[in-house]
Structures are given as C-alpha cells and as structure tokens.
Structure 1
Amino acid sequence: MSFLEFQLGDAFTDSGFLPEPASALPLDSVPLRESHKGFQVPVPDLLESREVETNTLQERMKLYVDSSMRGLELRSQPASNRDHDRSAVPGATSHLADREQSLKQMVEVSGNYKPESSDSVISRKLSRILNEYDGRTYQKDQDLRRSFLALEAHRKVLAFNESVLVQPSVMGSLARQSLKSNLEHLLLQNNLTFLENIRPVVNKIQRLSEPIERTLTIGNRVCEKRPTPIPDEVWCRIKDKQEQLQTLKMQKTVLSAVRDSLTLSQIEDHAIRNAEIDTEFLLVVNRIMIIKERATYLLTLPSAEAGKALLKHVNSQLEIANKRIYNYLVDFLYDLQSAYRTFGERSFTSNDKTFVVFRKCLVYLSSDLPYFSEFLKRVVKMRSQAALDNFLSQFDVESSSESKPIILSAHDPIRYLGDVLAYVHSLIVNEADFVNSMFDFQTFDEEEDSPQSIINKNQKFLSELNLKALNDIMVPLENSIRIRLEQIIRFEDDILTNFDIFDLLKLYEMIFTKYGIFEDSTLIRNLNALENVSSNKIGSTLTDTLSTIDTRQEIGADLLPPSWLAEYLTTLCGVFARYEKSSYPEDAKQIVSVEFLNETTGRLVNDKLEEFLHKNFPDMKRNPSEKENFLVAQINCFDNVISKLKPFKSTVFDNDGNILIKVENQMQSSIKALTEFESRLLFQKTGLELYFNLFNMIFPVESVQDELDYDMYLSTLENPIMNLTKIRESVEKPVSDLMPAALDEFQKNKVFHIMSPRIGEQITNTCLRQLLRFYQVFRQVLLHLYPDSQEEVLTVLKFTGDEAAMLFGLSD
C-alpha cells in the first residue's frame, strides 16, 4: 500500500497545512542489525501446487499464501542477540517474545497448518500494525494511524467503501488504487488553489520589484558619492515646490470631497436604475435629494452654469427614481388588493419591512406632485369602486345570497334606514382603517431617513393625507346613499317616525364625522338635508292637520272641548315628549323651534279655537246666555290646552315661553270675564246691582277699610234710590229669598259646566265674596247714614255679615 507514504493525517487535520509527498527512504539507509543480516525468507515451492487446479485469481493467491506459510522457516538466533534486541526498545520485551513464540509455533506446525480466510489475515495484519509496538517502525505506525483517522473522518467526502477497500482481491486492489488517485487529485487541487490565491501578490511584487531595485540602485549611488553643498536658491526653490505640492494636494482633496458630495458613485447610479426598491434604494434617493439641495447653492456663484448642469442631471435622476417608486407603489397596491380578496385581511403588519418601505416611498414621491396625485387617484378609484360594489350588492334582489337584511327590513322605515346607515358606517370604518394604516403620517418624525426639506414642506399635507383619501373614497357612494335614504324619508308621514329618523340621522352624522368624514363633505350635507326634510315634515304634518280641522263642528250642551282638539293635542304632546327623550336636544331644537311653536300652538289658540267658538256662539254679544256659554266653552278649551302643554313648560317652551303664558293670560281673561258676568247676574238677582254701581262710582267698595270710609258715601243720600222705602221695595224680598239658596243657584247656572273644578270653585267663591263684601258695606253704610232708622235697616237687611258668610259657605 504505497499510497500510505503521503502524509494524509496532517493534510486533513490542519486546514492551513498543505501536505506534500514524503520521499521514500532508500533501503540501504536503514542500518540492519547483526541478528538480521543472516536472516533469509525461504521462497515457497510453487511447483508443488501445480497439481492443484485453480480457476480464479483469488484461489491462486490463497494457494500462494498457504504455500508461503508452510515453507516459512525461522533460523535460530543467538540468545545474546535476542536479548540485545529486546533491550534496545524499552517496554517491548513481552511483545517481541510473544511475536517470536508465535513465529516458532507457525514454523513447527507448518506441516499441519490449515489456511485461513483472507479477511482474517488482513485483520491480523492491521491489528499488528495498529496495536503492537516496535521501535523501528514507530514513526511509520503513527503516520499510518493518523492516515486511518483522517480517512475515517472524511469517509463521506471521499465516498469509499471500506468493505471493498480492505479486500485482498483484485477489486480491493483497484479500490485502493482509486482511493490513492483521488487523494493525489485532491492534494493537487488544494495546492493549485493556494497558488492561485497568492498569484496576484506575486505578480504585484514582481511588478514593483524593478522600480524598487532602480530606486535602491540610485540611492546607493547617491550615498557612495559625496554630495556637494546645495545652494540656498535651490533650497528655496525646493521649498516653494513643496508648498505648491501641498497646496495642490489640498485642492485635490477639496475637489474630491466636493465631487463625492455632488455626484453618485457607479454603484449608486446602478441602484437608481436597476436595483430593487428597498431601504438601500431609498438611501440613494435620499442622497440625490441632498445633492439637489446642495446644488442650489451653486446657483449663487458668479457662474451658475455648473449649478444648472448639476440640477439638470440630478432632476433626470430624480425623474427615474420617482417613476420607479410610482411603479413600486402601484404594484404594492395591487398586491395588497389581491391579498384582501384572497384572504380577507392585510398581509402585513405595522412594523413590516415592506410596509415601512412603502411609507417612505410615499414621502419621497410627495415631492413629485404629478406622480403622487396619479397614485392617489388610483388608490381612491380602486377602493371607492370596491366600496360602491359592496354597498349596491346589499340591495341586489337577483343575488344568490340568502341573507339580505336590508331588503327584508324595508317594511320598517327606522330599521331599514338603520341598516343602510350601519352598513355605510362599516364601510367608512373599513376604509378608515385602510387609509390610516397606509397614509397616517401624524407620527412621522425626523428620525426617518428623509430630507428635511420634504418634511418641512409636506408635513401638513402628509398629516392630513389619510382623511383626504377617506373622503375622496366615499365621494362615489354619496349619491347612492342619498337615494336609498331619501326614497324612504320623503314618503314617510308619521310624525313620531320622522322624529326617530331625525335622531338616527344625527347619530350617524356624529359617527361619520368622528371617523374622519369632513363636515363640509357631500355625505354630511346630504344627511343634513335629509334631517331638514324630516324636521320639516314634522311641522308640515302638524300644520296640515291643523288646517284640515273642521271648525264647523257643533259644540255639545256640556260645553266641553271638541274631539278634534283632544286628538290634535295628543299628537302635539307626543312630539313634545319625543323631543324630551331625544339624545340630541340641542339639535332637536331645530324641530321644536319658535316658528314651530307659533305654527302648531299659536295658530291653534289664536285661530282655530277662536274660529270654532265664534262659529258656535255667533250671538254672544247680543245674548247674555250665549255669552256665558261662550266664556265657559272658551275656559274649557284653554284649560284643556294648558293642562296638556304645561308639563313641557320648562323644556319645550323655555325658548319662547310667551306662547304658553299668552294662553294662560287668555284663560285668566276669560275667567275674569265669566266671573264679572256671574257676579253681575248675582247682583241682579239680589236687587243690589244699582246700589253696587252707585257705591263703586263714589268710592270702590273693596277699598273700604273702617268706619271713617263710610262718610265717603254721604253724598248718596241725595240719590232717590237711597230712600229706605225704595231700598225695602227693591232689596228686602230678593235678598231674603236668594241668600239662603245662593249656592244652589250657582250649581244651576253654567259655571257647573266648567271642566276644571278648581276654576269653577274660584269663580263661585269670587262672586260670593264680592256679594258678601258689598252686603256688609251696604248694611253698615245704611246704619251709618240712617242712625235713627236702624231697626228698619236691620229689618230690610236682616242677615248679619257672619250669617251671610255662613249661608254662602265662606269660612272667612
């Protein structure tokens, strides 16, 4: 196995060591011991084996080995030599003894030896090589062990089959030769690689060797000669040249720095034209922007040609970069749209590298308005078309979709409008989420690698870009949304339903503006217009109802308010109650406004009720009885209106409370008129009417405080009606008959038909108190004026004040 002569162990164990073939030792260089000089290996007699027929090479080799082992004879050696050999290698005595003993046994039993298999022979040889120790072959054994270890470690690389490699047959021999050839080829390849690596260094050294040799030769010649003293002029010229050289070096350094700061390298120019758009590409674009900023300074030079040429070149590079950025953004947008359609969700996160590049590209593209505007148009068109298709699909009756909540709820106006607005809200939320994730630059800061000029110039525009994009996306939907809402609102006549529609529109108006829809956008203006339609329909429905009331309806004998008044007030109070429950009372004030109250409440009291009462009591001015009925019916109507509207005095009528106050004042006027009418009627029945008028003409009866005021009526003695006889004839019998039955008389008149017991009691008590007051004053004045006829006066007015109060049912 001659291939083991290569130092394979070192070649594989140390990567920095290049193995080379070891020179084979000549046999004559190895000294032989005396004990080995006479040793001869007997050659087996191959003629003996001719009688045995062999068919294969392996059988012939086995036969040769068997013959050799049988013919092996070991010459006897002197014991001293053997002892000397054993003492030459320390620690190897036992091994050599065993080896000699085994050889002797092999010679002695050579006649009876049975051949072993080839694998056993090779295994025994390898075991001897790897395990036994011999001082003469120690180094070779070590090298052999390292070689085997290297082969074992690199068996996968060399791809050899050890079972074939160790065979003593021809196949094994060929395998070993092939392994040797592969190892030599690998060794040559490694050496060639090393030489190729050092070739540039060697070439450079060879190229520089000749100038260096010339320089050394000149230096040696200069050093050998004795230089003459150099004149001062020469030194000055040398110094000047050195200064000029330093100046030129500095100028070169400055110009090189200017050139590097105002131009792109070849790698950067290649990146602008061909490289993938990523962070490195944007850094190059950022450098171009910086160069453009610096190039503007060159325009201030006396000659601006350099600045113009540089700006022209930089603008052309920016045009290329912006066009590539535009194409990248469009591709990114279409890829994103495809991901939405396929997976229904975004394919990136907020800190995704691709998304960060996209946002930076938008910042850079914002400096080029044509490209930037075109990209925004593409975004708006794509998103608005998808949103419009989704919105219209909700009303597609021919669609195969089973769930159509908007269509199924069309019979309920509030639910239908709520479903439409809720779906619009979902579209706005979806688009707001999209534009905020893509175009929200409010958190943009200077740490991003962008020129400061772009940040300062476009910061406000970029910060509002998401809201502008959202409103532009919703523009194509505005008309469709308005049509779907308006077709329900314009044909809805129910007042409370219109109020609910108004609140619903206000709610979604607030929600839409919260998510970024501009207040001056067409969508919000459409909602405001529909709100006005709803609010106007509430007022117009009430006014139409009021206008269609038939005031020719006859009033009943009980003088109660007509049925249409109760129905109208019920509807009106329902609107007021809905107003109080409104979630947006400030906005609902545009419905229940001053004009609304004047049209619905003021017209009711001032026009319809007056018209109704005058048509039912046309002769009230000529007929006292009809006037009494008119006043009672008027009080009942006013009381009904006030009782219905008074709970809303602090809420509905707080804007303009004069309407309700005016109604209350009108009712008080009617009560006062009825009280005067009933009081006058009562005085007529008692016969005291003339005296009551006479006394009030002289001095108001209500103003009498004590007896001194009685003298104010002394002038009445001149009047004929103040004669006691006349008084007896006019007053005695009516007073005696009426005063005990005064309460019964009031219950029989029209005051009993007043709907409010409080008002009826108020009128009755007022009339009776007025009669009682005058009766007491009249009785005391007569006693004062006729002190000699007091008995006669007491006979005519026989009831004292307390007795009269008791008869009238007055407590005080």
Structure 2
Amino acid sequence: MATGSYFPPPGASSSVSPRTSSPASSPLSPPLQQRSNALSNRLTSVLSVSYADSDIRDALETLNLRGIHNTAEVRRQLRLDVQKEVVDCNAEIVRDFGNVAEQLKRIGSVISSLKETCDEMRKHIVLAKQDTNPVLEEASALMNQKQEAETKQRLLDAFTKHFIVSDEELLVLASVEEPINDEFFDVLARVKQVHRDCEALLGAENERLGLELMDKSSRSLNSAYQKLYRWIQKEFKSLNLEDPRISSTIRRALRVLAERPSLFHSCLDFFAEARDYVLSDAFHYALTDAVSGGDNAVKPIEFSAHDPLRYIGDMLAWVHSTTVSEREALEALFVDEGDELAKGIRAGLSSEPWSRIDEDAEVTFDGQKALSDLVSRDLIGVARSLRQRVELVIQGHDDPVTCYKVVNLLSFYQTTFSNLMGPNSNLADLLQALEKFTLNHFQTIMRDDVSNLSTDHSALAPPHDLSAPQFLLDSLEILTSVMRAHEASLGTDELSTTPGIEENKFTPVLHAALDPFFSLAKSSADELTNPTARAIYLTNIHITVRSSISPFPFATATHLPPLSSTLSTLRVELLEIQHRYLLNTSGLQVLITALQTFSQSPGSGTDQDLAAIAKLAAFQPEALVAISQQLDDFLPSALMDATDNLKRVQNATFVKSVTEEAVEAFCRDFEFVEGMIIGADEARCIGQADGAVAEDEGDDKDEKGSEQEQSLRRLFPRTTGEIRVLLS
C-alpha cells in the first residue's frame, strides 16, 4: 500500500514552528500546554487505532486511489473536495426524493380507485352471501348426515363381520357330512368368541340383540359339540393304538370336547368300554389260541395251566405288557395335552356348573391320574378274567411252596403295577387281593396238615434216637424252601433287619408254617417219662428249628429270641443231668450228700465239727476205700462215658460245652470233698495232741493202729489236680 506517503519521511521539514518543536527550551504557557495535551491525546488515539480496522483500511484505500500525498496543501484541498462532494451528493438525493414523491402521488390515486372497486365488490359479496346462506346450511346438514351414515355403515360392517356367522360356516359346524378339520375348529373358535362377546351387548340399552345372538350361538355350539362327540366315538372304534402317533385331529378334538365335561367323560366311558372289549378278546386269544411269532409258533398260555407258577406268571406278564403298551399309546392324549385338557375342563364348568362336585374346590386336571384311571378301566374285563383264573388255579393246588412262590410273584407284580399305575389303581388292588387270597390258601394248607397230624398218633410218637420227628423235618424242609423263595424276592434294603422290630411281612408265614408243627413236636415230648430223654428230645427239636431259621434274618427277628431262651433252659437241665451222672458214676455223690448235711448244720466249720466227719458212715474205712476204688475205675473213661451219656443230642458242639461245664462242676465238688477230708484229718490230729498230755505213750502198736484209723487222706488219696488232668 501507499499509505506511507501520508506521513513525512524522516528529516523532512515540518510545518510546526521551532518554538513548538522543543517544548523543553522555553516554558509553556497554559494554553500551549493544553494544546500540547490535546495533540498528545490525538496522537495517542491515532496510534492506538489498529491498521486492521475496516474503516481506516477503507479510508486509506480511498486516499490511495486518489494518489494524494501527505502535504499541508493537499490536506487543505482535500477537505474542500470532500465538502463539495457531500453537497453534490445531497443535491442528487433531493432530486431522487422528488421523483419518489411523484410516484407516491400516482400510487395514492391508484389506491383510491382500488378502494372504490373493493367497496363495490364488498356490496356484491354481501348480497351474494345473503342469497347462498340457506344453501350452505343445507349442504352442511347433508354432509353431517353423510358422515353419520358412513359411521353407521362401518359399525354395521364391523358388527356383521364379528357377530354374524354365515350360513356356510354354520353348515360346517352342524352338518354331519362336513369333515372335522382345521376349518371346523376355526369356525368353532369364532362362534365361541361371538358367544363370549355377546355378554358385552347384554349391558347395552337394547338387550334383545345380545339375547338373540347368544341364543343363536349357543345352539350352534351345542350342535358343534354333538357333532364332535359323535365323530370322536366313531374314530375311537377304528383307532389303532399300535400306531405310536395318534392323529393330531383326535387330540385336538379331545381338548375342545373337554369344554363340555359331560360329553368328554361320556366319550371316555365309550372308549373304555370299546377298549375293554378289545383287550378282553385279546387276552382270551392269548390264553386259548396259538400266537404265531416268526418261524416258531408260541403256545397258548393255557398249555402251562398244570404249572401254577408259570401259568400265573405268563398271564401277569401279558397283562403287564398290555398295560405298558396301552399307557404309552394313550400318554399323548392325557400327559402331553394335560394342560390344555385342564383349561378346557375349567372352561366347561362355567357352561355346565352342575358338573362341579365341590363349588369351593379348585378344579385341577392330573393327566397322569386320568391316564391311569382310563387304562384301569380299559383292563376291567382282563382283570376280572385274571382274578377268576388265578383263584381257580390256587384253589386246585395244594403244594405250599408253590403257593408261596405265587404269593411272591403276585407281590412283585403288585409293586410293579403300583409304580406304573398308582397304589390305588384297580390292578394294584386286584393283585393285593389275589396275594392275600393266595396267602390265606397257603395258611389253609398248613392248618389242614396240622389237623391231619393231630389225629395221627404214630406220626407224633418221638423217634427211638430222640431226634426231631419226621413231620417237623418235613415242615422245616417246606419252610426252608419258602424262606429261600422269600429271600430271592427281596431287595438288599428289605433283607436288612432293624433291631427292635419284631413283626415283618414274613411273620404270618412263620406262624402258619412253623409254629403249629413246632407246638406239636414239643407236645409229643410229654410221652417220654425219662427226664433225660425228654430233655434230649426237646433239645434236638429246638436245635433243629434254630439251625433251619438262623440263615434267614427276616425269620430270626421274631422266633430266634424265644428259641435261644428255651435252649438256655434246656442246657441248664442237661448240665444238671450230666453233673449228676458224673457224681453218681464216680461214687462222689455219696460223700457230697454226707458232707452237705454236715456242712449245713449250725456252727459247721470249726475244728470239732470237722473232726466229726470221720464218724459219718460214708467216711468209714471200708466205705471210703470202696468209693475210692469206684472213682479209680471211673476216671480212665469218665469223659468218654459222660459224652456218650448225651450222644443222642444232635449237636456235638452243644454236647461238648455241656460236658465241659459238668466236668468243671464235678471238679469243684471233688475239691470240696478233698478239702473236707483234709480238714477232718487236721482237726482230729489237733484233738488227739491236746489229749495226749495226761496219757501214757507206752504201746507203739496201738498208736500206729490209731494213726491209721484216723487218717482219711490215706483211704482217699486222689487229688483235685489229678482229677482235672484225667478229665481234661
């Protein structure tokens, strides 16, 4: 830019006088000082302005275009030129405003003419409005009527579409010729919705329409449900349960029919009757006719009627297989669709309130229970035939072991059907009743055997070897077979016994198969007059019974404690018998009898009393020597003879333990006798020593004979140690 030309270059002459250029050379007057301050302020203001300011830039640009240099003359001329330009511009503006005023006058005249025209038009419009007002009002009324008519038409169309069912659709619901398909169920759902929505119309002012529609829809629904009911009955007649996939249409039809509980249950009754007939016929066919399977023909079940266990087992296996198949086939109807059926039944109770048994009870549908009930009803005929045949076979069979095996078989299937069908199902109750019937027959057989034995005195006579009677052995053999069969039928948990529990499932069998024969065997011991023989006979009976039932925990829980108690009593009795045998055979009983009387007298045990033992008859030299000799003869074979005394007891361990305790008691008795003899000798020696102070000691022969006469120990030299060694 040429803005630098507006300022004098350095060293150029200034228009300022020398007096003002050096203010410090002479003092300034106040006016000059003020001027100097104004100039200073002016300079400060100019210098403080930014050259980037748009006004200054435009001014500089204008000066640059004029080519003006910054001199005093130019500055004065510039001011005049600027003033002249301002005056010229103002004159031009005045001329322009004159032209504007002329144009405004013309516009005013135009506006005045327009105003007159508008006034004239306004008068015409008012007149036209007065003429068209009636027409507009009539047109407005017609438009409102049109809108109302259109609204009513839409409402009528919507009402007709929602509440009115066409004749074609009603024909689908009621006509027997029309099939049961998705169209039928769709129309039925629509009619049900119409029936429910009619309740809203009953709350309106005009209830007649709602009542008519509800009546019409009710008739349509009843016709539809009757058609559905008859169709399901027809389908049930030809329904193939062997097909694992039952028709979805049947399942859907049952769900819908559940909304009419009376028709639903009637339909199930019809189905149960039909299936009952089919299954009864199939059971009869399996019993009597050969069933071909593969290359080999399977024999009918009746071919094994001679074997009750196999015959009943085959029938139960067939019933179980049929029950499982029937349940699996019907499971899709009642388990998979259980929630839908429950909803349908709850909805149906509102339309059939008389179907509700308890008004306060909540309606629930158990699919598993309904399935089990239906399967049970399907097998009523089979169950009736099964019961008749089982009872007939059991009544004609007298083998108790086979009867009890049948009891176990029935118990197994009763548990199986309880798990499959529920504990309260007809089949479970039937098998429980048959199990009870068979057990009663088993008990009857046992009672008949006991009754026959009671009249046969030869069979009740004790054997010569005093062993358990044969009838008891036979009954124990039967009982063992029964207990093995029972053990084989139990699980591990059932085999374990709980302490303190006396009764179990097998206890009635023991009471029937063991107790009567056991009682007869014990009563037959009354024919034995010899106490030893009677004790041995009873011991053999109890040992035989105990050895038979000991391997089976379920039998020992109730019968082993009394057996053990009785055997303990018999053992004590045999111990006394054996003890008496040892004492009598050895001759020691004579000495013990004499000493027992002596030792029980008042004041016994003193030296004077012990000295009197030698005066007893049993302790005289001849008698004591004979007893000693008898003891010597007894000791070599004493243990063998004692064992042989109880040889008819059929338990060597039992005999050995009794004999050992008897020998121990014998040794204690001998020790007592030995002690009494030693004490008697010592007491007599002390008495003779006290009397010898005043007597003469002359005759040696008399003293020696007196000493021999007084020494009992020499006459009975055996010691307790020798006895224990010889009897060990």
Question: How high is the TM-score relative to the length of structure 1?
Answer: 0.59
Match of 1:660 in 2: 560
Aligned with 1:376 (options 268, 273, 285)? 268
Aligned with 1:795 (options 709, 714, 718)? 714
Asked whether the 8 Å contact 2:414–2:431 carries over to 1, the reply is yes
1:376, distance to aligned residue in structure 2 (A): 2.7
2:573 is the alignment partner of 1:673? yes
1:786, distance to aligned residue in structure 2 (A): 4.7
1:733, distance to aligned residue in structure 2 (A): 2.8
Match of 1:581 in 2: 488
2:318 is the alignment partner of 1:423? yes
Match of 1:614 in 2: 526
Asked whether the 8 Å contact 2:316–2:413 carries over to 1, the reply is yes
Match of 1:123 in 2: none
2:672 is the alignment partner of 1:771? no
Can you list the C-alpha shifts for 1:537-572, whole angstroms capped at 9, x where unaligned? Answer: 333333433343345454454333333332222222
2:474 is the alignment partner of 1:571? no
Mapped to 2, the partners of 1:455 and 1:665 lie a distance apart of 68
Match of 1:733 in 2: 626
Match of 2:438 in 1: 534
Aligned with 1:313 (options 216, 233, 237)? 216
Match of 1:598 in 2: 511
Gap change, CA 1:446 and 1:628, over 3 Å in 2: closer
Can you list the C-alpha shifts for 1:396-418, whole angstroms capped at 9, x where unaligned? Answer: 47999975432322222222222
Mapped to 2, the partners of 1:459 and 1:793 lie a distance apart of 103
Which secondary structure does the structure 1 equivalent of 2:336 belong to? Answer: coil
Mapped to 2, the partners of 1:603 and 1:719 lie a distance apart of 61
1:315, distance to aligned residue in structure 2 (A): 0.8
1:268, distance to aligned residue in structure 2 (A): 3.5
More displaced stretch, 532-541 vs 366-375: 366-375
Mapped to 1, the partners of 2:534 and 2:626 lie a distance apart of 32
Match of 2:398 in 1: 493
2:262 is the alignment partner of 1:357? no
What are the equivalent positions in structure 2 for 1:19-418 lying under 5 Å apart?
227-228=128-129, 257=158, 260-265=161-166, 268-273=169-174, 276-299=179-202, 305-336=208-239, 346=243, 349=245, 355-396=247-288, 404-418=299-313
Mapped to 1, the partners of 2:548 and 2:343 lie a distance apart of 72
Mapped to 2, the partners of 1:731 and 1:306 lie a distance apart of 136
Match of 2:336 in 1: 442
Q: Could you tell me which amino acid in structure 2 is paired with residue 380 of structure 1?
A: A
Which secondary structure does the structure 2 equivalent of 1:672 belong to? Answer: helix
2:545 is the alignment partner of 1:645? no
Aligned with 2:537 (options 630, 633, 636)? 633
Match of 1:682 in 2: 582
Which secondary structure does the structure 2 equivalent of 1:460 belong to? Answer: coil
Q: Could you tell me which amino acid in structure 2 is paired with residue 332 of structure 1?
A: E
Aligned with 2:378 (options 448, 473, 483)? 473
Asked whether the 8 Å contact 1:592–1:652 carries over to 2, the reply is no
More RCO (CA 8 Å, sep 6+): 2
2:726 is the alignment partner of 1:807? yes
Mapped to 1, the partners of 2:722 and 2:343 lie a distance apart of 108
Q: Could you tell me which amino acid in structure 2 is paired with residue 594 of structure 1?
A: T
1:611, distance to aligned residue in structure 2 (A): 2.1
Gap change, CA 1:803 and 1:760, over 3 Å in 2: same
Asked whether the 8 Å contact 1:551–1:608 carries over to 2, the reply is no
Gap change, CA 1:771 and 1:272, over 3 Å in 2: closer
Gap change, CA 1:683 and 1:785, over 3 Å in 2: same
1:599, distance to aligned residue in structure 2 (A): 4.1
Gap change, CA 1:433 and 1:675, over 3 Å in 2: closer
Q: CA RMSD in A?
A: 4.4
Aligned with 1:558 (options 465, 474, 496)? 465
Mapped to 2, the partners of 1:522 and 1:530 lie a distance apart of 12
Can you list the C-alpha shifts for 1:366-387, whole angstroms capped at 9, x where unaligned? Answer: 2234443443333223322222
Mapped to 2, the partners of 1:697 and 1:314 lie a distance apart of 116
Q: Could you tell me which amino acid in structure 1 is paired with residue 717 of structure 2?
A: K
Asked whether the 8 Å contact 1:432–1:515 carries over to 2, the reply is no
Which secondary structure does the structure 2 equivalent of 1:548 belong to? Answer: helix
Which secondary structure does the structure 2 equivalent of 1:752 belong to? Answer: coil
Number of aligned residue pairs: 550
Asked whether the 8 Å contact 1:543–1:599 carries over to 2, the reply is yes
Asked whether the 8 Å contact 1:551–1:611 carries over to 2, the reply is no
Which secondary structure does the structure 1 equivalent of 2:129 belong to? Answer: coil
Q: Could you tell me which amino acid in structure 1 is paired with residue 650 of structure 2?
A: M
Which secondary structure does the structure 1 equivalent of 2:165 belong to? Answer: coil
Asked whether the 8 Å contact 2:613–2:680 carries over to 1, the reply is no
Mapped to 2, the partners of 1:643 and 1:601 lie a distance apart of 13
Q: Could you tell me which amino acid in structure 1 is paired with residue 395 of structure 2?
A: R
Can you list the C-alpha shifts for 1:734-782, whole angstroms capped at 9, x where unaligned? Answer: 1342155236246446323322222222232222211211222332344
Gap change, CA 1:739 and 1:759, over 3 Å in 2: farther
Gap change, CA 1:292 and 1:485, over 3 Å in 2: same
1:419, distance to aligned residue in structure 2 (A): 2.3
Match of 1:504 in 2: 409
Can you list the C-alpha shifts for 1:509-549, whole angstroms capped at 9, x where unaligned? Answer: 34444543x54444433322221222223333334333433
Mapped to 2, the partners of 1:269 and 1:584 lie a distance apart of 63
1:285, distance to aligned residue in structure 2 (A): 0.6
Match of 1:453 in 2: 347
More displaced stretch, 295-304 vs 566-575: 295-304
Which secondary structure does the structure 2 equivalent of 1:264 belong to? Answer: coil
Q: Which runs of 5+ in 1 are unaligned?
A: 1-222, 621-625, 700-710
Mapped to 1, the partners of 2:503 and 2:436 lie a distance apart of 9
More displaced stretch, 233-242 vs 498-507: 233-242
Which secondary structure does the structure 2 equivalent of 1:493 belong to? Answer: coil
More displaced stretch, 586-595 vs 677-686: 586-595
1:460, distance to aligned residue in structure 2 (A): 1.0
Can you list the C-alpha shifts for 1:320-343, whole angstroms capped at 9, x where unaligned? Answer: 211222333234334546xx8xxx
Q: Could you tell me which amino acid in structure 2 is paired with residue 562 of structure 1?
A: P
